[in-house]
Amino acid sequence: MTAKSIMNKTRIALIGAGNIAQSIHLPILTKLAGVEVVALCDRNKSKAKVIAEKYNIPHVVKEVHELLKIDGIDAVDICTSTDAHYEVAVECLEAGKDALIEKPLARSWQEAAMIDETAKRLGRKVMVAMNHRFRPDTITLKSFIERGELGKFHYIKSGWLKQRSSEQKWLAQADRSGGGVMLDLGIVLIDLMLWLTNFPKVHSVRAVMQKHQTKNVEDFVTGFLNFADDTVGIFETSWTLQRPEELYYCNFFGDKGSAFINPLKIIRRQGNDFVSTESPDATRSKTALYQKSYQNELQHFVNAVQGLVPVASTPSEAVHRMRIIDALYVSARERTEILLDT
């Protein structure tokens, strides 16, 4: 962090001007107090210039090496397609920049591990953008879990079913995305189960993956995580299952109570009766919760760059998560349970 950013604003450069950058990152970053978006980097420079003019961003470049010549950049926000994450992240870290990287961190655990190693070696701050951790409802649920109010878990069931965005066709290109719906939506469900339960050891995994409307990547996955303490985690995710609206949920069942996300509802047993508690956030629209999660996430990253809070959603956690996901791919390919040591 430069002396200038301490006195004035944290100067951030955004790399990749696609859908997530235009719809989420730029609208939020450009309104955050204490932040200045100073540069935009995209291979389509003409498009980037139009976007930069909209948000009064002074510098527009086509290549990362050009970006890194601009003075005073404290951190980068990497919103490129996944295939570029490793190369872009390492180049920026070696230039002394902290980084926020959109999920997934990389296409495989090997690439993720190399980013993690580089960050540790250089002492740079890297945060993986897992915005569901910053949803008001999941934050509330985590507080219930950490206080032990639901007891010991024995079953977790989660799912995310939605149609693939027509604006992100690269997600179905295996060489660019690293995988299909597993790395787009399934990774969120796995992280949610791990993060909310404080990353328990996973003993084994099993998965089924199918291609209904895609050729090179999976568009439907159902998976099974067997934790070392005998807790069972099951998830389902798809771009193609036919339903009129998006479905996103995560249900936890413990020996003292249960919890349901989206909307958040807590049920606890008291004697022979059940007491139900609904979060005030249950009345928020899904769009409002989605927007708030990103606002909280981006603010946390800025605070971490400024040294006010520790980094959340670390690359080391991403490496752990990618090992599990890679094992799920092996399980689906070989049609067998895969034992892990994670």
Q: Which pLDDT score is estimated for 284?
A: 63
- Four-CA torsion 312, 313, 315, 317, nearest 10 degrees: 120
Q: Which domains does the chain have, with CATH numbers?
A: 3-130 (3.40.50.720), 133-295+320-339 (3.30.360.10)
Rounded CA gap, 9 and 27, in Å?
17
- Tell me the sheet residues that pair with 224: 206, 234
DSSP character for 200? Answer: P
Reduce the DSSP state of residue 112 to 3 states and report it.
helix
CB 294 within 8 A of CB 28: yes
Please provide residue 293's backbone torsions phi and psi, each rounded to the nearest 5 degrees.
-60, -40
Q: Looking at this protein, which amino acid is placed at residue 137?
A: D
Q: Is 163 exposed, middle or buried (0-12, 13-18, 19+ CB in 10 A)?
A: middle
Query: Is residue 36 classed as helix, strand or coil in its secondary structure?
Result: strand
Decide if 183 contacts 130 (C-beta within 8 A). Answer: no
Residues contacting residue 286 through CB under 8 Å, at least 6 positions apart = 246, 248, 262
CA atoms within 13 A on the CB side of 258: 10
Please give the pLDDT value at position 282: 53
Q: What is the Cα gyration radius of the chain?
A: 20
d(CA 333, CA 44): 37
What is the chain's pLDDT, residue by residue, as a tens digit (342 residues)? 444 444 579 999 999 999 999 999 999 999 999 999 999 999 999 999 999 999 999 999 999 999 999 999 999 999 999 999 999 999 999 999 999 999 999 999 999 999 999 999 999 999 999 999 999 999 999 999 999 999 999 999 999 999 877 667 778 788 888 899 999 999 999 999 999 999 999 999 999 999 999 989 999 999 999 999 999 999 999 999 988 899 999 999 999 999 999 889 999 988 888 888 886 655 567 778 888 999 999 999 999 999 999 999 999 999 999 999 999 999 999 999 999 975
User: What pLDDT is recorded for position 341?
Assistant: 75
Cα(52)–Cα(46) distance, rounded to whole angstroms? 10
Q: What share of the chain is helix, strand, coil (3-state, %, to 5)?
A: 40, 25, 35
Single-letter amino acid code for the residue at 200: P
Of the candidates 188, 11, 1, the one whose C-alpha atom is nearest the C-alpha of residue 102 is 188
Given this model, what pLDDT does residue 2 score?
45
Distance CA 105, CA 94 (A): 17
Widest Cα–Cα separation across the chain: 67
Size (the chain), residues: 342
Q: Are 12 and 6 in contact (CB under 8 A)?
A: no
